[in-house]
């Protein structure tokens, strides 16, 4: 496999050096692997910290900035960051109002963030944690006990980030983050396997004429493999799974997310089919975001995430955000 890298061992620090060069509004500690918004800690504001294995960009480092995260901790590719990173991040963003850890439900992430919370509290930092477990495809997988954390992580970080920017206390920000997770469901489809720099080739075998329905963001198995389907058929399948699980009775946010190697041309065509399938099921879409946001290196495929919203959650979604990977508003 051809990759635009130097050597596999330096992929993450090389990317962090590039992030630092391109985004002076961020403080990027390459050695300790912590990304912090330059104005942190923001006075009288709850700090938001997330992180996970690299390879899912722009999640999480691309979502550090006003309106979203205060800091992110990148691990090695598909490998959890370590507690020391998380404690450094919490100390860098704590204004005295507490810190919220946003954690995708993968075993390594959960264990390390739990340990980091204990260490941070020993240093006098108040910490709350929210677990993101939105995947409707499977209950247990290779990396998890329970549902996997996938596309809803973006909704949680954006909406909780807006609440924190408004000055909401830690208990309120935590409650909003939990609510967003509970009101969200996702489903992913892989058209090809991803390739890690260390392996230099596909991480699993997916024949050219087949797709994986319900795949995880590390290439974990889904519900089943089938012969290649049309965009229309994939949308019907994915929407049916998500709507049946979520049973929305109010408008939804819709994320049509590329897995890393899917071009916008295909994603917007797929988005049209998802809107059609939702309309046939009488699910109203309040906002749609289309693009590669929660990725799996060079995997071809897509995922959809729905989040039920009321006026307050929609207002927080629409609030200004200014990060490397997501920005709108003032």
Active site amino acids: 56, 218
ω into 60 cis (within 30 of 0):
yes
Reading the block at residue 212, the tokens are 């994986």
By CB neighbour count within 10 A (0-12 exposed, 13-18 middle, 19+ buried), where does 21 fall?
Answer: exposed
Q: Give the count of beta carbons closer than 10 Å to the beta carbon of residue 249.
A: 7
CA-nearest of 177, 185, 184 to 103 is 177
Rounded to whole angstroms, the Cα distance separating 242 from 187 reads 7
Question: In sequence order, which ranges of the chain are alpha helices (DSSP H)?
Answer: 11-22, 83-93, 107-122, 152-165, 170-182, 231-246, 264-280, 311-318
Measured in Å, how far apart are the chain's first and last C-alpha atoms? 42
Q: How far is CA 89 from CA 71, 158, 160, in A?
A: 6, 18, 17
Reading the block at residue 42, the tokens are 């923001």
């Amino acid at each position: 496999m051809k990759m635009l890298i130097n050597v596999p061992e330096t992929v993450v620090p090389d990317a962090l050096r590039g992030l630092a060069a391109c985004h002076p509004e961020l403080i990027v500690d390459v050695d300790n692997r912590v990304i912090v918004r330059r104005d942190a800690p923001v006075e009288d504001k709850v700090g938001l910290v997330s992180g996970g294995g690299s390879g899912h960009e722009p999640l999480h480092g691309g979502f550090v900035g006003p309106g979203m995260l205060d800091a992110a901790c990148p691990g090695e590719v598909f490998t959890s960051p370590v507690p020391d990173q998380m404690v450094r991040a919490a100390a860098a963003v704590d204004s005295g109002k507490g810190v919220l850890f946003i954690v995708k439900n993968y075993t390594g992430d959960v264990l390390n963030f739990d340990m980091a919370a204990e260490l941070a509290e020993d240093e006098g930092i108040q910490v709350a944690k929210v677990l993101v477990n939105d995947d409707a495809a499977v209950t247990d997988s290779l990396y998890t006990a329970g549902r996997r954390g996938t596309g809803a992580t973006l909704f949680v970080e954006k909406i909780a980030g807006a609440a924190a920017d408004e000055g909401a206390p830690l208990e309120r920000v935590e409650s909003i983050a939990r609510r967003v997770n509970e009101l969200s469901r996702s489903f992913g489809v892989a058209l090809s396997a991803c390739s890690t720099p260390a392996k230099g080739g596909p991480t699993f075998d997916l024949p050219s004429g087949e797709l994986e329905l319900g795949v995880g963001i590390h290439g974990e198995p889904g519900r089943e493999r089938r012969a290649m389907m049309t965009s229309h058929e994939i949308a019907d399948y994915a929407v049916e799974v998500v709507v049946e699980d979520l049973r929305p009775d109010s408008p939804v946010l819709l994320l049509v997310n590329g897995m890393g190697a899917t071009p916008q041309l295909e994603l917007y065509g797929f988005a049209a089919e998802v809107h059609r399938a939702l309309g046939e099921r009488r699910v109203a879409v309040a906002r749609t975001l289309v693009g590669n946001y929660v990725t799996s290196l060079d995997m071809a495929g897509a995922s959809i995430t729905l989040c039920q919203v009321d006026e307050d959650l929609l207002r927080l979604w629409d609030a200004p955000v200014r990060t490397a990977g997501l920005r709108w508003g003032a």
